[in-house]
Amino acid sequence: MISLLQRVSRAEVVVDGEQIGAIAVGLMVLVCAERGDTEKQADALLSKLLAYRVFADDAGKMNRSVTDVGGGLLLVPQFTLAADTRSGTRPSFTPAAAPEDGRRLFDHFVAQARLRHGEVATGRFGADMQVSLTNQGPVTFWLQVKPAVME
């Protein structure tokens, strides 16, 4: 599974003109399941994400996690993170999980996040979403837990 996390002072997702998810200070996280991913990869990625130290401590060093600072999580499904862009001028989405697997793993990821973390908002799987955010820093990191089976 792949995530692209951004440290934000605010972020929101709008679908059909309606705000469906929003956070203040925290992490806006694009989440993607790859072929071969299971709940094991989702759980490992979530553990890493919740512990990843991207917020400043009193000395100004990135030593605090979203859990440490009590920040929000805005989790947004984003299958294009798995795109293969190595050749040509059109991305291939073959590495991404099938839509039904992607939805199942995103839903699992969200459910586990809600069990383990305070504020969790989400985008909507398969929807045309407008995502806006104010990235603090900017601070952006790519986290990946490789699929169990690489085809």
- Kindly list the catalytic residues: 78-80
Q: Strand ranges (DSSP E) for 60-119?
A: 62-65, 72-77
Closest CA to 78 of 46, 49, 116, 105: 105
For the record, the structure tokens of 3 come out as 């995530």
* Helix, strand or coil, per DSSP, at residue 106: helix
Residues 62, 13: Cα–Cα separation, whole Å = 27
Query: For the purposes of burial, counting CB atoms within 10 Å of the CB of 143, is it exposed (0-12), middle (13-18) or buried (19 or more)?
Result: middle
